[in-house]
Every structure is written in C-alpha cells, then in structure tokens.
A = this chain, B = another copy of it.
Amino acid sequence: MAKLTEISWNDFEALPLETKKPYLENPGLSDTPYHTLFAQQFDRHLLERLAALSNRIRFMAKSKEGSLYLKSLLPHKRAMLYFSQPSSRTFLSHLNACQILGLTTSSVRDSATSSEAKGESKTDTIRTFSSYVDMIIMRTPEKGLAEQMAWELSNSDRPIPIINAGSGKDQHPTQALLDIYTLLRSFETKGGLRNRTVTFCGDLLRGRTVRSLSYLLTNFENIRQVFVAPPQLQVPEDVLEILKEKGVSYAISDNLREAVTVSDAVYMTRIQDEWDKDKGESARIDTSRFKFGAEELKLLPKDGVILHPLPRRDEIAICCDHDPRAMYWRQMRNGMWIRAALIAMTFGFEKQIMCFGA
C-alpha cells in the first residue's frame, strides 16, 4: 500500500494528480481519505458514499436525539481552521460542520500573524499550530502548501489530517464535493445522476469551481456537458482535453437560452474580475446574454435545477429565488453537510453513523 512515509516530498510532488489518491488514504481504513487535498482523490464510489453519509447526517440533525448523537462522536478531538485568505462562507461552513460533530475548534484568520512578522516560515507556523489539535482545515493563497503540510505532518511524530479548503488558484476540493452532492440530491428521486445534460454558464475560464466539477462529473454515466460563455471567458482547453480522453460528450455555446431548454442542471457562475490582469478587462466583455432571469426560468425543464457557488452579483435574478428549481441556497447548506460527512469519514465514523438507529 502506498504511504506518505515511504516516499520523499519531491517524488510525491512530482506524481500525476490521479495517482496520488492511495497516498492520501487513512492507512487503517480501506478506501477512506485521511488528507483531503484534490478533487481528483474522489471517485464515483467514494462520492456516493459521501453523499449517503451526508444524507444520513442531515436527517439525524433534524431531531435533538440525532443531533446529540452526532455531537457525541468527536468531542474529544479539536480542529484548527487556518484561513490566511479571507473567506467567510467557506470558513463558516467548515466551522459549523465541525460543530455538528462536536469537534472543538480554534481558528487563525489573519494573514499576518505576529510569528510571520518575526521571520517564521509558513511551515513552522502550521507545524506549531498542529501541535495543539487533531485536524487542520486550511485555506491559503500558496499553491501546494496544503499538500506539503500533509506530507510533513504524515512524516512527523504526530500525524494529523489536513483538509484543503482552497489553495492557490486550482484546488478547492470540498466545493466540488458540495456541487456533486447537490446534483446527486437533486436527481435522487428522479432516476439519479446519469444521462443528464449539465450546462455551465458565465466565467468558465477563471476560478476553480467549473474545472473541478467538470472533472468529477466524468465519474458518472453519460453526463453531457455544455459550456456557455463569451468567447473570451470560455472553458480552457485542458478541461476539454480531459473530457475527450474520457470520451465524454460536450458542447461549446454562446447561447444560454438554447442551452437551458435542454438542460437538467444549469450551473451559473460569477464573472471573476478579481483575476483581471488589465483593470476593466472584464467590464469590456459583453456578458448581458449570460444571465439567468425570468425568461430563462420559463425555458428550463420542470425537473431542471439551477446551481450557483455564490456569491452572486446579477447572474441570477432575485425573482428566481423562490422557484422550487433554484437550488443555490440549499447548495450552501449542502456544503455544511458534506463537509461534516467528510470529517466524520476521515476520523473513521462512517459505519457508526450509517448504523445509527438501525
């Protein structure tokens, strides 16, 4: 079995993403993540187990008895949320996920801690913080830092799991998990997540959400992907390369209304102008036809669903909020459930939760 303790950092870093999965598993539990670093760690079987566990936790949390049972699982463990990049929503979602399981939490949210000011390296800082707790949930702008800490801690006297809550531009695996979970829930009683058309719309070039979700969808049978965007913001070639390799059907379009009429799910995204190289670069692009409003709502099939990772600007009109097909508020809450499921699984409580009340 592949182990992080039996491979050097340089060798591990150089591996292709798809081959790192076994190194990140819990040595004591079969096919269960220990460190969560990449969307690529999650195959269909694991995604479905996570969704089932999330459903279970969500259901249990409705009763006081179930809630207290969940809170009784991890009160002897402590987690640290190390967020050196601001993000209220991802932070709060993870925090509440911990609280559901009774995990005690502490958090570091300043980018400039006093220790960095004193010349300490990031890895020393995180190693120090790790010495107080049993899990680190981290979000940082540095690409690869979560991965490096996972390797370092696994090779220390006191290994603890890392959950990557967003690192660099590329990886935000728990966002991808919540997107998939929302799709799985949306089609749960309607034949499941197969033979579907999923349309992505908005800024498909920048941001990590579309990239990861597109990848994870290839795990499911016959999911056609449609990419609707202004030409300047279309999905990058390497995403399409993966679809071709895997034989997944896809289309490129600039006509949202046309796409909506044949979509089972429409995944709207915001124009991410914070990545503009030129100031005003995004503002010069005509994005008026890439918004979901009353007209699009009429065209959407009655079993279709609308998703959005939020925050939104005006990509989705407020008049859509009360439509039963609008899933984006529920999607937020799903993020909390699937993160709770992931943490529970990481600490080896999957079976115990699934058997509750049985």
Choose from B118, B132, B274, B333 the contact partner of A132 (Cβ within 8 Å): B333
In the complex the two chains form, what is the Cα distance from A270 to B157 in whole Å? Answer: 24
Query: Known: A68-B76, A312-B120. Contact between A99 and B89, CB under 8 A?
Result: no
Interface size on A, residues (CB 8 A): 51
Residues of B close to A104: CB separation below 8 A: 99
Q: Determine if A115 is an interface residue (Cβ-Cβ < 8 Å).
A: yes
In the complex the two chains form, what is the Cα distance from A127 to B311 in whole Å? Answer: 11
Q: Are A127 and B76 in contact (CB under 8 A)?
A: no
Q: Are A127 and B329 in contact (CB under 8 A)?
A: yes
Copies of this chain assembled into the complex: 3
Query: Known: A118-B274, A311-B124, A329-B131. Contact between A76 and B67, CB under 8 A?
Result: yes
| A116-141 Cβ-contact flags toward B at 8 Å (1 or 0) | 01111000110111011100000000
The stretch that binds B, out of A105-113, A254-262, A283-291, is A105-113
Q: Are B310 and A120 in contact (CB under 8 A)?
A: yes
Q: Which of A63-78 touch B at CB < 8 Å?
A: 64, 67-68, 71, 75-76, 78
Q: Determine if A300 is an interface residue (Cβ-Cβ < 8 Å).
A: no
Task: Identify 9 residue pairs between A and B in the complex whose beta-carbon atoms are under 8 Å apart, listed by A's number.
Answer: A68-B76, A96-B106, A96-B133, A117-B274, A120-B313, A125-B311, A128-B310, A128-B311, A132-B333
Choose from B78, B125, B127, B158 the contact partner of A99 (Cβ within 8 Å): B78
Q: Are A129 and B92 in contact (CB under 8 A)?
A: yes
Q: Determine if A232 is an interface residue (Cβ-Cβ < 8 Å).
A: no
Q: Determine if A332 is an interface residue (Cβ-Cβ < 8 Å).
A: yes
Q: Are B87 and A128 in contact (CB under 8 A)?
A: no
Apart from A68-B76, A92-B129, A156-B329, what 10 extra A-B contacts exist at CB < 8 Å?
Answer: A68-B75, A78-B99, A86-B114, A92-B106, A92-B108, A96-B106, A128-B329, A131-B330, A131-B332, A131-B333
